[in-house]
Amino acid sequence: MLEAVKLNSNKLQLKGKDFLQLADYTTEEILYMLEVAQELKAQQKQGKPHPHLGGKVLGMIFEKSSTRTRVSFEVGMLQLGGHAIFLSSRDIQIGRGESISDTAKVLSRYVDGIMIRTFAHETVEELAEHATVPVINGLTDLQHPTQVLADLLTILENKGKLAGLKLAYVGDGNNNMAHSLMEGAAKVGMDISIASPSGYLPNGEITERAIKFGQQTGSTVTITNNPQEAVKDADVIVTDVWTSMGQEEETAKRLEAFQSYQVNAELCKLAKDDYLFLHCLPAHRGEEVTAEIIDGSHSVVFDEAENRLHAQKAILKLLLG
């Protein structure tokens, strides 16, 4: 099994690399990012300035609304000595039909990195193809790697390790959180079990990829329709909203499909006594999770939200620094 060991930073050079999905990074690189995030967090808590990105500018394109992603990247750049520019798709020419490739080429002349939060994953891939500066995926319908890096940081802080733990995800398996969690968990040696109803199972290609990662790190990837099976003996339980942005017309259908996939006290009894509960937020209390669980003693959702800042700063420092 893998251990979150101290790594030699001189061996890993990530400057100029894109951050589109965790599958693009090695186990060592992911662990190194977590190590840097811990160091930056400690420096902030100690009041030590860390202006590693003085004079650097991050352009942030938003086609989806945001709280944690926008604030964490904007504050992160400020704390690193740089600056962030908010670019709503309603205000820049991409919202009026300018091509992704032209937008990438233009922004690359102005900024040192681009973060984008959008719908289609292909948009992020095309942006990265034509940009000459690092592109960071702040969220697509397919992947949410910046959130999962923060999740891994939160688990590591609370459990002291990642390898050998079991993570259970309950809910919509065909969403960005489930996909990035599968890749991230498998890369760091965590077992992961996804419980979703038929018709909402994870993307097949991503599942196969995660299974291959798991074979390299000694972890397992399990897909099931049974939430009790997934949660049994879990160290970490994760869920997400049943209806994501852009799926609002499916709300009634999804409420019916996922009604037996709620994370509640009865389900959590099957997990280990010291399990952690994570949710990327925003949450719909009473739907995917009860208030008793998300506001209970096992919940670390606000530590997790804070860690978006520290994980994002690690990404920014390593890719732009």
Q: Note if the bond before 282 is cis, omega within 30 degrees.
A: yes
DSSP 95: G
Please give the Cα distance from 61 to 88 (Å, whole number). Answer: 6
User: Over the range 127-140, which residues count as b (16 or more CB within 10 Å of their CB) and which as e?
Assistant: bbebbebbbbbbbb
User: Over the range 108-120, which residues count as b (16 or more CB within 10 Å of their CB) and which as e?
Assistant: beebbbbbbbbee
Token pair 């969403």 in the structure block, residue? 175
User: Residues annotated in the binding site for L-ornithine, as ranges?
Assistant: 176, 240, 244-245
* Active-site residue, from 240, 279, 310, 312: 240
Catalytic (active site) residue 79? no
Catalytic (active site) residue 268? no
Catalytic (active site) residue 179? no
E strand or H helix that includes residue 13:
none
* Active-site residue, from 52, 117, 209, 310: 117
Catalytic (active site) residue 280? yes
Please give the Cα distance from 138 to 295 (Å, whole number). Answer: 26
* Active-site residue, from 191, 308, 310, 312: 308
User: Within a 13 Å sphere around the CA of 265, how many CA atoms are in the beta-carbon half?
Assistant: 5
Catalytic (active site) residue 70? no
Please give the Cα distance from 228 to 194 (Å, whole number). Answer: 11
Name which of 177, 199, 179 is nearest 257 in CA terms: 199
Please give the Cα distance from 145 to 115 (Å, whole number). Answer: 12
DSSP 201: P
Catalytic (active site) residue 130? no
Token pair listed for 294: 């998300």
* Active-site residue, from 52, 121, 144, 310: 144
User: Residues annotated in the binding site, as ranges?
Assistant: 66-69, 93, 117, 144-147, 176, 240, 244-245, 280-281, 308
Q: Active-site residue numbers?
A: 117, 144, 147, 240, 280, 308
